[in-house]
Amino acid sequence: MTGNAIEITGLRKTYAGEKRTPPKDALKGVDLSIPSGSIFGLLGPNGAGKSTLINILAGLVTKSAGQVRIWGFDQDVNPRQSRAAIGVMPQELNIDPFFTPRGALEVQAGLYGVPRSQRRTDEILSLIGLSDKADSYARTLSGGMRRRLLLGKALVHAPQVLVLDEPTAGVDIELRQMLWENVRALNARGMTIILTTHYLEEAQEMCDEIAIIDHGEVIVRDRTSALLGRLDAKTLLLRLENPVAGLTLPDGVKQENRADGRLALTYPRSVVNAGAVLAAVTQAGGVVVDISSEEPDLEDVFLSLTSGRAA
């Protein structure tokens, strides 16, 4: 499919409050499109509306207003087709402890109406690394294995869109790497991936595009590289042969002496260039022994956009 895998227009969700409590708008007219074949990050602080949005996509929560189209199917007009087009790996470990991984995948496939001849249970067990545990009770699996099983359950009906809700929360480095290898392989086959995560370095590494949601509204949506470019600051880290006194820096450059002995010079790239900063150090008699730089990361962008916003 070309175009958008997900199209959301004017999406609202209002939760009725208790008596004398005004209703809470979890989503306030969200407009969002997610390109087919992309790895798309959906980020935001706790309570921003991410889970509500995901649950609406999964058909678990009824929207208050708006339109949702999944793989071209309108959720109101074609609810079964739209639900079949999406798989969700939830954050919660909601697995029946008395099922085996094989049994859990078979039951899940049955719930989606997948004929026995078309089920890919062994293939999925191999993909998620549970072939050797296929017939063990889920209650005997480690937390990481159970999280892998959640991924398998989301794949039984071969969805075109896969939602990963905090997939690596609380898992070890080895499992995290395995999950991302699986995600990249699925995406390479054409599957659209939607990722929510609190590990911003993961979103920075994995996602083609990112939308940041806060207080029920999408406050920014852009390519990951463009988001990182929004912060103008850059830092040069210099290790000098000897300390320099009387350093006169260009306007806008901030100086910091790091605990490791390096001199940190932060400057706005749109106004000052690195050559001018280094020239100022040289003119003050500084001899540079080593040099490196620090660029803004996604966490800086995230905090700059969400800090201090009122509900």
- Domain borders along the chain are 4-228, 233-295
Q: What is the pLDDT of residue 28?
A: 93
Q: What is the mean pLDDT of residues 173-185?
A: 87
Q: How many CB atoms lie within 10 A of CB 177?
A: 12
Q: What is the pLDDT of residue 236?
A: 93
Whether pLDDT at 222 is above 80: yes
Q: What is the mean pLDDT of residues 272-282?
A: 93
Dist CA 40 CA 42 (whole Å): 7
Whether pLDDT at 112 is above 80: yes
**4-228 CATH:** 3.40.50.300
Task: Tell whether domain 233-295 is in CATH 3.30.70.
Answer: yes
Longest dimension (CA), the chain: 79
Q: What is the pLDDT of residue 18?
A: 53
Q: What is the pLDDT of residue 33?
A: 96
Whether pLDDT at 142 is above 90: no
Q: What is the pLDDT of residue 21?
A: 60
Q: What is the pLDDT of residue 282?
A: 93
Beta strands in 72-142 (DSSP E): 73-74, 86-89
Dist CA 298 CA 221 (whole Å): 13
Q: What is the mean pLDDT of residues 201-219?
A: 91
Mention every residue, 6+ apart, whose C-beta is less than 8 A from residue 53. 8, 11, 27, 30, 42, 213
Dist CA 223 CA 90 (whole Å): 25
pLDDT band at 47 (very low <50, low <70, confident <90, very high): confident
Mention every residue, 6+ apart, whose C-beta is less than 8 A from residue 198. 166, 169
Whether pLDDT at 265 is above 80: yes
What mean pLDDT, rounded, does the chain reach?
90
